[in-house]
Amino acid sequence: LKSAQDHPNKIKQKSHAPSPNKISKRIAVAMGADPADLVIKNVSWLDVFNGLWHVSDVAFFDGVIVGVGEQYDGRSVMNGSGLFLVPGFIDSHVHIESSMMTPHRFQEVVLPRGTTTAIWDPHEIANVKGLPGIDWALKEAATCTMDIFVMIPSCVPSTEAGMGLETSGAVLKAQDLEIYRNRDGVLGLAEMMNWPGLVNGNSEVIKKLHDFQGMVRDGHCPELSGKALNAYAAAGIHSCHESTTLGEAQEKLSKGIHVLVREGSCAKDASALLPLVTQRSAAQIGFCSDDRNPLDIEESGHIDCIVNMALRGGHDPIEVFRSASFAAAKIYGLNDRGAIAPGYLADVVLLKQDGNWKKGCEVVKVWKNGAEIDAQSFLRSPRESAPFLGRNINIPKNLLSTADLALKSSREGGVECRVIGVRPGQIVTDDVKARLACKDGLVQNDLAQDIIKIAVFERHHATGNHGVALVQGFGIKSGAIATSINHDCHNLIVTGSSDESMLWALQELLNIDGGIVVVSDDGRIERIKLSIGGLMTADAPKEISASLRRLKSLARSLGCVLDEPFLQLSFLALPVIPTLKITDRGLVDGRSFKITDVVHGAQN
Amino acid sequence: LKSAQDHPNKIKQKSHAPSPNKISKRIAVAMGADPADLVIKNVSWLDVFNGLWHVSDVAFFDGVIVGVGEQYDGRSVMNGSGLFLVPGFIDSHVHIESSMMTPHRFQEVVLPRGTTTAIWDPHEIANVKGLPGIDWALKEAATCTMDIFVMIPSCVPSTEAGMGLETSGAVLKAQDLEIYRNRDGVLGLAEMMNWPGLVNGNSEVIKKLHDFQGMVRDGHCPELSGKALNAYAAAGIHSCHESTTLGEAQEKLSKGIHVLVREGSCAKDASALLPLVTQRSAAQIGFCSDDRNPLDIEESGHIDCIVNMALRGGHDPIEVFRSASFAAAKIYGLNDRGAIAPGYLADVVLLKQDGNWKKGCEVVKVWKNGAEIDAQSFLRSPRESAPFLGRNINIPKNLLSTADLALKSSREGGVECRVIGVRPGQIVTDDVKARLACKDGLVQNDLAQDIIKIAVFERHHATGNHGVALVQGFGIKSGAIATSINHDCHNLIVTGSSDESMLWALQELLNIDGGIVVVSDDGRIERIKLSIGGLMTADAPKEISASLRRLKSLARSLGCVLDEPFLQLSFLALPVIPTLKITDRGLVDGRSFKITDVVHGAQN
């Protein structure tokens, strides 16, 4: 049996469109006249249509399932007795960039965990690189072993460019996007985060929805309800992965907005939403990871993580596995997958459990297009390097100085300041009032109050834009952290105990052209270079994990008290989330959507 | 509110593709800023996604549903309190020809009963008229108020032409059909009856399946199971409406072949198959009528008939209504309908019930694209006549004589014959052995044994082909019955108590150029002229019903004991159904697929 990943760079065939000759061969194998490629004998397989388990042989040929319910001979045979076969999992909404891995590397870690298809919104690389970023995403996706479909980012940048709240690498208008409608591998328009624009009839938003009619148009509407949710649905939005309560999710689903149950690294909704999955609704509800970091994928899994949460929570495995595969296939119109039945892609996961689904299950083997996934072979085979997308940071290095980090005030002594209050494990922040010392016209850090500086530097267009503010909650007592990952504009963000350490971390970030850097006051440094857009690397997943562990360890030694210092830092620049955020334009009040002063009565 | 049927001949807009301006207007109405076209207040509406009933207003605008779950104002308002709103029913497989009505007339009777969409296989008119028949069907369908989608007939004629078992009006090859793939209103390839050809890899069958890949390819595989069923599914077949037992249906569904529960006039499967509909499976199982005659539609309904059978059988209404609408929409990829949710077509049925679903329900009102269906307005508005398709019967009239009805034998006295044994209410026949008198070299009718002659005359190509045989079970003691409806070739079929009455009925059939004729020996005659292909008429449904009642009444007075004499006659020419059938080539053994002798040792 030839391994699918032998040719990782070959454009995958449309397996749902076999030639007449291939159809005839499939028929001959199904009839038992010719041997199958592989037969799994006596396995319990899930019939997603009736919602039943059956025990029989399952035969693969030519990348598809050709026989169930009967005995078959195969060139390769394995005993499936006591094991369970379910359709390959589908990640119904993911920003692969958040894994820091290229799609080729991402598949190395998620395919062995049973995810055979992902629906990718390449929103982050599109913010940084614009249309070439989307083109790169399509090219990468097309050459993966797993099926990665692309949704075209609808909101680049996240706030309307005219509001002047932030500077993104690109501004994508409706007319830029419509040409992607007919590109291979594109399923529709990605999450329409600008629901205020939609319900107010913003013409750009309407044009984007119009241009992608007949395709899936994903939503993103946390807490939207009532008439505004009706308007959102009436405009054609078909899904949402932002529900956080059961009632919110049920209302969305009742209005035809398919619920995608998310378990990301920051946003963890599965526990709250899984009760929505019933015998009636399971085929209408998908699972997704959205933003999941490499350590979480390595340690607790991908879609299999949600599957196991559901099983351990006592959900019927039939409903769980229907949601994990069949539902997402139906929601995205992928009619060639999501079921174990003749003619369907042989994208399947073989599972074992310990006599009781409530203990969860374990992936034994995974097949994609009928080829067994061998996690080790990915390591042995050379990967194609991701094509170069040019430099990531466009800031003249010698222009940065500690002067750029100054927070000025004409009032000597104590000044009243507005400080970004970080909440551990959340992306919402508090609007904290604090009194800080001011010396020689400069507001001072206050480590006793855990208040330090935070700054964002525009990195795409050499505008020199930069914003400086204050943050409470990191716990950093020495050194600094800087990264080029921060949602959604992905400028450079830095926080630290002193202007000098912040400057060093920034300069090191410039040296590696994007990534994550942690420096200590005693001269220690850890870094990961993210050469693709300052967001991703083609390095091996194990190396990424090792680097991240070293970075987190050093951050902890600086005094950092957050479990996810880099993720939390990366969301402090997202102005659409309340309450206080920082962008390259300054401190943003996320309720009024206005730039605001850090220092009360300041003369910055 | 403008009635949808004001413009019955206007090509319907693709309501799922509104302009940007229309999207904006829908949003404004959904938001409550502008009034809706119609608001049904406080109605119980079915949420097909969660599988729940909710009570609230439902607002329509611009042909779609724009609001649920909230209070709305509308230009028109009705009180829905105590009533139930469900998505419009979908007939997932119908030969409209079997209603004897044109599509424009068909909708007059089924729309008021809640069927807002039908999937039409124009197989009968295609057998008679070939590609112009399909073109006519597409044109008719496109101008109806209800949505009629067309599947392209895959098996014209039903047996492979090379077998020489029958003569159809047309022989449609794969290359004839492929051009229809991209025609508006076409959803795929209609029922692949030639499953033996498929499992044996017949190249024409494979090419047809190949040419319609990516679209729905319907099946027709009574009693097919095991590996042959796997092969059928592996080749891409997606549905079947021919299951008659629960086990058969469950196996098909488990293999990804969606089950369409049929309640036709002859084939009545709903009672046996409805137990397959569960909370898990309901969205995978559609309802269909297949072949349903006008009297049955008038007297016991259309899809609403199956709905009421299910409700009275104690099935949960949520599952019943999901199967009747949502399931078929999903199976056929009609993502704009089958649900009551913002953005979905306002194809809805308002129902009342008497406090208990087990008593069934009654249709109160129906809306198609948001316009109320007024059954009376169809009668007041002039209908466009169906375009003329040319003459239907190509037989030189003066060539017919009683000599054509002779059954010869050289053995005087008694001869052994094979007689077609009719089973009341079934299309399967028996192979009856009988001894008949022979006089002057001619086999004689035997009314005492209820054995009379039956004959088929080729009517499409003036070949002069005709077959004569014997039939038992009609009970006819005088006169004759003739019709141009007989599956699938629709040649002329006649049976009667004497050669003279058979000839008279045939000649009258020639006079009206196709239809149904009953004559009595005492000179009475009833007829219905079916001017479109000898299958359908543009006459009003009430007139068709009245004619049929007169025809049945006269047939009864001839002694006919069958409840459905014309339907039973029309299936006696379908050679793919066992055991004995008659075609224009002679008596066919439906097991061996060979022409066989009527008279043992005959010299016909």
Helix and strand numbers, DSSP H then E, in chain B: 18, 28
pLDDT for A603 beyond 50? no
pLDDT value of position A379:
64
pLDDT value of position B16:
56
d(CA A567, CA A290): 13
Rg, Å, chain B Cα set = 25
Mean pLDDT along residues A95-118: 96
Mean pLDDT along residues B314-338: 97
How much of chain A exceeds pLDDT 70, in percent? 95
pLDDT for A2 beyond 50? no
Give the confidence band of B602 by pLDDT, cuts at 50, 70, 90: low
d(CA B474, CA B129): 30
Mean pLDDT along residues B154-173: 88
**Which of A190, A208, A431, A359 shows the shortest CA–CA distance to A290?**
A190
pLDDT value of position A5:
34
3-state secondary structure of B317: helix
Contact A107, A375 (CB under 8 A): no
- pTM value? 0.94
Distance of residue A534 Cα from the nearest chain B Cα, in angstroms: 37
pLDDT value of position A380:
64
pLDDT value of position B388:
66
- Residues in chain B closer than 8 A to A206 (CB atoms): 20, 23-24, 27
- The β-bridge relationship of strands A52-61 and A36-47 is antiparallel
pLDDT value of position A69:
97
pLDDT value of position B412:
81
DSSP one-letter code for B532: B
pLDDT value of position B1:
32
Give the confidence band of B160 by pLDDT, cuts at 50, 70, 90: confident
**Which of B130, B303, B331, B357 shows the shortest CA–CA distance to B218?**
B331
pLDDT value of position A12:
35
pLDDT value of position A324:
98
Nearest C-alpha in B relative to A341: B255
d(CA A65, CA A72): 12
CA neighbours within 13 Å on the CB side: how many for A174? 13
pLDDT value of position B267:
84
d(CA A377, CA B292): 59
Q: B27–A201: do the CB atoms touch at under 8 Å?
A: yes
pLDDT for A384 beyond 70? no
Distance of residue B369 Cα from the nearest chain A Cα, in angstroms: 14
Mean pLDDT along residues B466-470: 97
pLDDT for B506 beyond 90? yes
Give the confidence band of A3 by pLDDT, cuts at 50, 70, 90: very low
Q: Which of A16, A23, A348 best tests the B interface by mutation, with the highest count of B CBs <10 A?
A: A23
Q: Which of residues 147-206 of B touch A (CB under 8 A)?
A: 198-199, 201, 203, 206
Mean pLDDT along residues A161-169: 85
pLDDT value of position B6:
33
Q: Which of residues 299-338 of B touch A (CB under 8 A)?
A: 318, 322, 330, 333, 335
Pair of tokens at residue A47: 């019939």
Give the confidence band of A198 by pLDDT, cuts at 50, 70, 90: very high
Mean pLDDT along residues B100-112: 95
pLDDT in tens, B213-240: 999 999 999 999 999 999 999 999 999 9
Give the confidence band of B455 by pLDDT, cuts at 50, 70, 90: very high
- Residues in chain B closer than 8 A to A70 (CB atoms): 226-227, 230
How much of chain B exceeds pLDDT 90, in percent? 87
Contact A223, A248 (CB under 8 A): yes
CB of A343 within 8 Å of a chain B CB? The answer is yes
pLDDT value of position A381:
66
- Residues in chain B closer than 8 A to A29 (CB atoms): 234
Mean pLDDT along residues A337-345: 98
* Nearest CB neighbour to B201, from listed A27, A226, A255: A27
Q: Which run of H or E residues covers position B311?
A: helix B303-312
Give the confidence band of B410 by pLDDT, cuts at 50, 70, 90: confident
CB of A71 within 8 Å of a chain B CB? The answer is no
* CB-count exposure of residue B98 (10 Å: 0-12, 13-18, 19+): buried
pLDDT for B9 beyond 90? no
Give the confidence band of A427 by pLDDT, cuts at 50, 70, 90: confident
pLDDT in tens, A268-282: 899 999 999 999 999
Mean pLDDT along residues A464-479: 97
How much of chain B exceeds pLDDT 70, in percent? 95
CB of B24 within 8 Å of a chain A CB? The answer is yes
pLDDT value of position A17:
81
pLDDT in tens, A566-595: 999 999 999 888 899 999 999 999 888 899
pLDDT value of position A411:
83
pLDDT in tens, A238-253: 999 999 999 999 999 9
d(CA A324, CA A328): 7
pLDDT value of position A13:
35
pLDDT for B203 beyond 70? yes
pLDDT for B5 beyond 60? no
pLDDT for B273 beyond 90? yes
Contacts of A183 (CB under 8 A, 6+ apart): A138, A150
pLDDT value of position B398:
74
Q: Which residue has the higher pLDDT, A490 or A5?
A: A490
Give the confidence band of A456 by pLDDT, cuts at 50, 70, 90: very high
pLDDT for A28 beyond 80? yes
